[in-house]
């Protein structure tokens, strides 16, 4: 289990925190909430992918997508024709959520079962990335987000591939994190029950790599594969 994020940790400096708004204030278990930008950013960085929410003509959509963060900007990439890219590029307000499940919280009662998790919900407005330097930087960040070190090992995009890829940016304007850690919180009257209770920690861990047989012979595993782990994981 990774990032040193405690329940309710807040940055001392207000400029490092998101302003709380009615839309972003955690209401259930507010003691688990954090509006600290560093906490929100760390969860976004460790999360392999995110869920992007938006509305079109009042109809809600939530689409899974790879993201990468540079500062307070989230970058997404995709096909030029995808609805997701078009909506984000239009400057619409976007909601992005990402979650890391750290463990199953197995309680004495069904009711008290839970997850240990770190999750974020952030809001921002989108724009299309036209500038080729920013676009290349964003695509490198996306590759690095998925597999740290991989951008140095694989071929960068050709001009044709760059032209075929849309990159959009979402400036994060508000957001929150919510973090649960620890053991079950059962009702006092349940602690004597003969039921195993505790946490079953979970982590995103790679299994043995599968090599593509079309590679030239004699290639060793690259660092990005041999040493793969999510940012923040020991
Ligand atoms: C973990 C993960 C990461 C991804 N990362 C990216 C990324 O970085 N860039 C990217 O372009 N695409 C990514 N995808 C694929 C992405 O979710 C969409 O499928 C993609 O954007 C294509 O959308 P579209 O334009 O075809 O459809 P859209 O017009 O966006 O969607 C049309 C409809 O198709 C259905 N649909 C679309 N996507 C999915 C889906 N994933 N699962 C089930 N139903 C779906 C929905 O009903 C949706 O309303 C990712 C998918 C996953 C699961």
79 CB near ligand 1 (under 6 Å): yes
Low-confidence stretches of the chain (pLDDT < 70) are: 1-15
Which residue's alpha carbon is nearest to atom 3 within ligand 1?
65
Question: What are the Cα distances from residue 176, in Å, to 19, 26, 32, 76?
Answer: 9, 8, 10, 20
- Cβ pair 193, 164 in contact under 8 A: no
- Rounded to the nearest angstrom, the gap between the alpha carbon of residue 6 and the centroid of all alpha carbons in its chain is 18
- Whole-number CA gyration radius for the chain: 20
The pLDDT of residue 15: 66
| 61 touches ligand 1 (CB under 6 Å) | yes
The CA distances from residue 62 to 55, 65, 149, in Å, are 9, 10, 30
Q: What is the number of alpha carbons within 13 Å of residue 68 lying toward its C-beta?
A: 20
Q: What is the pLDDT of residue 3?
A: 39
Q: Residue 21 has what pLDDT?
A: 86
- pTM of this structure: 0.91
Is the shortest distance between the CB of 111 and ligand 1 below 6 Å? no
Residue 2 confidence (pLDDT): 40
What pLDDT does 14 receive? 60
Ligand 1 center to 130 CA (angstroms): 22
């Amino acid at each position: 289990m990774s990032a040193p994020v405690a329940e309710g940790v807040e940055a001392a400096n207000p400029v490092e925190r998101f302003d709380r708004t009615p839309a972003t204030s955690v209401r259930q278990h507010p003691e688990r909430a954090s509006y600290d930008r560093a906490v929100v950013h760390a969860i976004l960085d460790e999360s392999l992918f995110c869920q992007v929410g938006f509305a079109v003509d009042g109809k809600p959509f939530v689409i899974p997508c790879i993201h990468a963060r540079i500062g307070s900007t989230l970058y997404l990439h995709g096909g030029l024709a995808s609805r997701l890219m078009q909506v984000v590029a239009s400057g619409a307000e976007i909601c992005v959520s990402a979650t890391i499940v750290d463990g199953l919280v197995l309680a004495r009662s069904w009711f008290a079962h839970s997850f240990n998790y770190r999750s974020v919900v952030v809001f921002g407005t989108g724009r299309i990335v036209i500038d080729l330097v920013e676009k290349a930087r964003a695509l490198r960040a996306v590759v690095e987000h998925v597999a740290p070190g991989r951008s140095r090992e694989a071929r960068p995009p050709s001009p044709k591939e760059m032209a075929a890829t849309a990159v959009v940016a979402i400036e994060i304007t508000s957001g929150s994190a919510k973090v649960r850690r620890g053991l079950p919180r059962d009702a006092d009257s349940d602690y004597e029950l003969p039921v195993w209770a505790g946490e079953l920690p979970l982590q995103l861990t790679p299994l043995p790599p599968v090599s593509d047989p079309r590679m030239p012979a004699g290639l060793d595993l690259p660092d990005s594969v041999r040493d793969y782990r999510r940012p923040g994981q020991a």
